[in-house]
Structures are given as structure tokens and as C-alpha cells.
Structure 1
């Protein structure tokens, strides 16, 4: 189906929903999505999966008086849309009043045609299949590889139309490509596995060699690892690990969590909460970013949101409802899928560059952690306490001395942010283009080993 046909289909469905809502004397915003995806998986030299999927879903958030409810449909026919609207209105009559939620994006007209987010793709399917097969083959060809249990290629095209009863109408489209592999090694009763991946906006920009090299070289380097002595160590997290850890405590930046009373920083705006060298910003658009979008889930044009500046908490992420609740400016960070209610979401997390060189960040002895296990299950976002498994390397002056496995890392996230030895002067992205940061050396974390 052509993009124009998709856009027309979504537009017709959205218009019908808005007309039905207004006829009932209510206000609403509607999100309609259409997507197409391709998934290829390789196993033992054969293509084990070739899946092509396409789908559509529409969701409405209705507000009548101070009562709010949502409903969705995966069918866009008239009867299904009418049933969806009736269900939302019926549900709203039973919900608790929420005077903070209103339809506030009035007359916003944003038609995102950013060519960098949606690039033409004429790559033959044979080339994509060859890539999926090559991901596995490149790993198993390595001298100590036992196998490559997870290998594949994926692509997704998404279209979204958002509109409301105040005349707002916003359109977004994007396309992304990915490839991945996992290297498995077995040697003398020891086993090690690591994943490598690449994500891009164009098929030609996928870095197959990088993903394969990362998977195999890391698994190989970790194979002979064992625990270090129990104690406190300086720690440098690999980018994906630091992003994962920050995500486990992401509610500390959420205005919605603050409204619910579950954000421990809800009363700390304007106060120091981290090392004075630390700056964190939520970025709407950044070169290489994979979460760029011109509008949020209420239809407001997205902007950058400072969160921590020189160690001081300067604000939280807000949608219009949480901003109204606290009497502050909303930050255009509304998040809502067609199937869900209004929430708050981040886009690209950017930790600002520090003043230390790579040599200064990596001077002396420290642990470099490249794999974490059970981060979210081992993290208490309110207290800040965490405990999870990890693997990595004991390092000295930037060189890996020996691999480390079978350790448990414990500490307190909020304390950790105040105990930073060094922040590097070069910012780089993680693999999926959602997290941008320099290398950061945290002064001390508790390591349970031998």
C-alpha cells in the first residue's frame, strides 16, 4: 500500500472518530498507527524465519467533564470505530475525576516530512536474506566460536496520525533497519555469550562487521573470566549498560511519577542532586538519534528539556496534565500509544561532556562492566538501591588486565551520581541511538565476588 493510501485511510478513520466524539458532547484526541515490518532469522546456515507483517491500530482518549477514558480498535471499519468510541465514553462515566487532563493542543499542524527519518529503500530481498545468513556465518567462522544462537535482520516502517477536537492534526513517518548476532563459546567446561547489533536509517549503513566483531570478541575475551575479590571498586559502565541502568531509575525524571508520589526527586527541583560536573538533557533531535519526532503524543511540537545542570535538578519531564497539576510549564514529553493512556516519555538521553581526557577517566585501577543481568528486577527506583549480576574486565590505565564474571554489583543510584571521579570530554551514542554520553568513572560501587 502506498503512503498516500495509508495516510488517507488513517485520516478517514480519525475524522470519523472525532465526529462521533463531538456528537456526544465530549473532547478527544486520537492516535492512529499503521506499520509494516520484515523479520529474518538465520539458524545453522538456513533461513529459519521470514516474516512480513502489516498492521494498524487506532486509539481514542475521551474527556467529558473531568472524566477520562481510553479505548482502541485494530479494525478501522465504521462499526468498530463506533464501538470503540462508545466503549470509551461508557468507561469515562465510571472513572474517577481527573481535572488535570484536558485536550490542550489547539490548532497544531505538524506534517513531519524529514527525509532523514524516512529514506527510500530499494534493496533486493535477496541482499537482506544474505545479510541475515552472513551474521551467523561470520561468527561461526571464528576460531573458538561454538555457535551463533541468535542472528537476524529486521526493518520497520511506521506511519502515525494524531488529531484532536481542537483542530490539531499531526503526521509522522519513519523507517529503521537493524541486524544482530550472538556469539556463543564453549571451552573446557566454560561458556560465554555476547550480543552485537547495529541500527540505522538506511540498509546500507548497517555495520555488520561491527556487530559481529563486538559479539565474538567480547564473548571470547570474557570466556576465561572469574570473580574479583569482594570489595569496593571504581566502575566505568559500557554505554549500553549505563543506558540500561539509567533506564531502571528513569522515574526520577518523570512528572507523572511525581504526581503519583513515586518519584524520590519530586521535591528536589532547584537543589543539587548529583556531582557538579554532571549535566543531563532530554533531546528532541540529535544527529544519529533514532527517537526523533516533531510532536509529542498530545500534538505539541517537541523541544529539548534540561533535567540536571551542573549537578542541580532543574526540572522534570511533563505532559500538559502533569504540568497543570504542578503549575509548571509542560515540556512536550507526553507519551501515549493508541492502546494506552496519557503518560510521560523521554526521547534521547544526553549526558553532557566533561573536562577529563580518556586517559584521566581510565587512569589507575577500575572495573569496566560490559554486561549486566537482572537490572530492572534488582533496582528499587524509590530508594535508589540496586543489586544485579555483571561481567566485564578489571582494568588498569585503560588496559584490560583480566576478564571478570560471576560478580554482583550493588549500590545506590542516587549516591552514585554524587560520587563521580571523572567525566570524559567526548560524547558518543549507544548502539540504538537513544543514549548519548561520555565515559563516566564512578568512584565506588560494592562488588561481591570471591
Structure 2
């Protein structure tokens, strides 16, 4: 019997067991295989092959909700799992909003690009991992390449519930990465670069090597700049880090818990009129493509900010019921987790400014951030974290900058946007899409 059939049979058994005990339930079952390689000192330091499977149930009985999971698909383990969930539910507080609601849906992620056959040989993958380190070490100023590797994973994910909904999803992802450490004239700099793709041939190993070394070399002579206020352009992955630290402001779950500062601001201006922000289910080349959410509803696009106005939050069916709004099919739940809220592709809309207009005059380009999440307060919006980058003028890097601290308030920062570029591009892992954005003024502590 195939792995898929095993998961399907286990899922049906669990739903039948829950129904017999008078509960409604949804079940998530998954299996995954992964392969990873690491290179160190010209040899493989890791060659790892792993496989796992897990099945988890969320039961609701008399408005009491609980979860339980098992890594075994044996009938005895499944029965024990359901009994444990029902026992746990008897001790939980009632939750009138959390219900099994996706009725009679059959959904399958059909985009063929997310699961493609891999014809690369193990020898090719080993050579890639070794060559990442070797080519960095061959660079003139490189002291070492301390982190190098290749990984791939494939997974099957199923969801079913007692209302007849059945969903399936299958994907494969590959990645490679390297780090260049430069030690020259008693100064050190290191930069990590990575590539994520759906096929082995899609990995951009040459770019990864080039980006890691060139950025480390460019930052080597960096020094603090004068303390003051600067216009700032975040490199795309750095901007994604900042937005991630404050992502709870879009969450209906955090609003339900009373810790979302935008809970009462739907319909109000919260950002510059230049800013438009959406959660998008399907993006070409995206790596968060999935036909259904953690409750089994079909995913779609959700507008969050339009021309600076907050038009909605991300909701699962429970948070939507709490606020009396329409669900956005953004339920997040794993086999081992409780019901939450999650996004798919975070997309900032294109503006009207050319790259030359966004980069006109003097500004600070920030390419590396340190301690973003520990230095951010999602409720107040205050943040302070270390950064490296370049002082720039008219799109050209004037000098490297290191050893500075960036501070400000996120909710103020997004109101003070000077320009938004007219070209949207993906970040390295295909989850975040944005144009260049120039923020008017942030506090920089330097020398």
C-alpha cells in the first residue's frame, strides 16, 4: 500500500472514531522526506536522509476543543489519539467560535510546478555542496566558507473533516546556501546567500557564491556613520524581516486576543497612501502556493492595506465569527498544532516611481539586520536593532556602513514613505514580493 493510501486510510479511521463518540473533528495527516548535505574543509560533514509522518486531530464536543497527535498510523495508536483528544477537551474552556465549518469540499493543489520530478543524481548534489565551499575559498580575500549546504524536501499533506471535506497537497523544495568569511587587514566580514527552487537545475549556485563573497567584501571596510536621521531603503529580505516582526498587526487571532494595535482600525488610514499590501494565494514562482487553508477552505487573495487604508485582517473561521466578518481562508494549523492564522505570499503593490526616483539623493541602504525580533515590540511598534549596509547617493553606494543601530516606530515608519518603486520582485525564498520602498526618516545611532 502506498504512503498516500496509508495516510488516507488513517485519516478516515480517525474521523470515524471521532464521529462514533459524538464529536466533530478535522484531521491533518502528513508525511515528508528530506535529504541534506553540509560541506566543511573540503569534505562532507553531514549526509542526512530523514523521513517522518504524523497525524493530528482537532475534536470539538459540546463547544470544548482539544487536539492530539500520533506519529504512528497503527489502529491502536489512532484510537488512543482520539480518546486523548476527547479527554483533553473535557478539561478545556468552552469556545463558542471554534467549529468545524468547511462542509463537503474537495480541494487539491493542482499547480504542477510545486512538485516536479528530480532527476539529479546524488553525485551531482554532493558536488554542488562541495563546490559552494571550494569556490568561496578560492576567492582572493576569503578566509573560509563556514556554512555550506544543500537540502531538499518533499511532502504530502492531507486534511479531512467530519463534514465530508477532503483536501490534498504535495510539494517539493530544494535549496543551497553558502557563507563567505573575509579576513583582511585585521577586519572581518561575513555574508550568507541562498537559493530556493523547485528543481535542481533551478538552483542558482553561481549567484549564491557571487552574492556571498561580493557582499562580504563590500562590507569589509564598513564603519559607523554619524548619528542622525536618514532616509532608508531596506534590501528586500531585510524588509521582509522587519515586516515579519510586526506581522501580528494583520492577524485576526492577535486581534481576538486583544494584542493587535490595529484591532479597531479597520477602515482607517494606517500607512502612507503610497502603500498597498495583500495576502496572495498564488504567485508565479511563489513558494507558499496551496489550494486550501488549515481548515479546508479554498485559499484566495486578501487585501489588507489599500492606498494606506487598513481594509481588513487575516481570519480563520473562528476569529471571523468572533468579529462577525467574512473568513479570509487564512487558517493555519499543523498536525501537532492548534488553530491559528497565517499568511501565504506577502505582496506589496507596485508604486509609480522609477528606480532612479526612489534612489534619488542621499539615503542609507540596509542589507543586514541583527536582532530584529528581540528588538521589536509588536504592540507599541518601537524597534531597535543592529544593521549593516551602505551610504548611497543617486543609486550608487558611496561607502560601507557597519556597527550602527536603527531605531524607530514601525507604525510611524510606514506612514513616512517617500517613494514606492514600479517593479515588484520576489525575495530569495519566494514568500515575499515587493518593489523598492524608501522610508522618509529613521534614527541611526553611529558615531
TM-score above 0.5: yes
Contact 1:368–1:393, Cα closer than 8 Å, also in 2: yes
CA distance in 2, matches of 1:55, 1:122: 23
CA distance in 2, matches of 1:171, 1:81: 20
Match of 2:280 among 279, 283, 292: 283
Match of 1:174 among 171, 174, 185: 171
Could you tell which deviates more after superposition, 71-80 or 253-262? 71-80
SS of corresponding position for 1:16 = helix
Contact 1:221–1:403, Cα closer than 8 Å, also in 2: yes
CA distance in 1, matches of 2:44, 2:193: 19
The 5 A counterparts of 1:242-257 are 242-257=239-254
Match of 1:143 among 125, 140, 143: 140
- In structure 2, what is the equivalent of residue 302 of structure 1? 299
Q: How many residues align?
A: 447
- In the TM superposition, residue 192 of structure 1 has moved relative to its aligned partner by 0.7
- In the TM superposition, residue 187 of structure 1 has moved relative to its aligned partner by 1.4
Match of 1:424 among 402, 421, 424: 421
- In structure 2, what is the equivalent of residue 159 of structure 1? 156
Does residue 117 of structure 2 align to residue 120 of structure 1? yes
The 5 A counterparts of 1:166-205 are 166-205=163-202
Q: Which segments of structure 1 move beyond 2 Å, counting only runs of 4 or more?
A: 111-114
Does residue 358 of structure 2 align to residue 361 of structure 1? yes
- In structure 1, what is the equivalent of residue 203 of structure 2? 206
CA distance in 1, matches of 2:369, 2:14: 45
- In structure 2, what is the equivalent of residue 376 of structure 1? 373
SS of corresponding position for 2:142 = coil
Match of 2:102 among 88, 102, 105: 105
Where structure 2 has 5 or more consecutive residues not aligned to the other structure, the ranges are none
- In structure 1, what is the equivalent of residue 34 of structure 2? 37
SS of corresponding position for 1:205 = coil
SS of corresponding position for 1:106 = coil
- In the TM superposition, residue 136 of structure 1 has moved relative to its aligned partner by 0.7
- In the TM superposition, residue 78 of structure 1 has moved relative to its aligned partner by 1.1
- In structure 2, what is the equivalent of residue 393 of structure 1? 390
- In structure 2, what is the equivalent of residue 230 of structure 1? 227
- In structure 1, what is the equivalent of residue 337 of structure 2? 340
CA distance in 1, matches of 2:119, 2:406: 47
TM superposition score normalised by structure 1: 0.99
- In structure 2, what is the equivalent of residue 273 of structure 1? 270
CA distance in 1, matches of 2:304, 2:109: 26
Deviations for 1:308-328, whole angstroms, at most 9, x for unmatched residues?
Answer: 000000000000000000000
CA distance in 1, matches of 2:41, 2:222: 28
The 5 A counterparts of 1:33-72 are 33-72=30-69
Contact 1:428–1:436, Cα closer than 8 Å, also in 2: yes
- In structure 1, what is the equivalent of residue 93 of structure 2? 96
Does residue 261 of structure 2 align to residue 264 of structure 1? yes
Match of 2:82 among 71, 80, 85: 85
TM superposition score normalised by structure 2: 0.99
CA distance in 1, matches of 2:24, 2:396: 61
Contact 1:113–1:173, Cα closer than 8 Å, also in 2: no
Match of 2:16 among 19, 23, 26: 19
SS of corresponding position for 1:89 = helix
Where structure 1 has 5 or more consecutive residues not aligned to the other structure, the ranges are none
Does residue 402 of structure 2 align to residue 405 of structure 1? yes
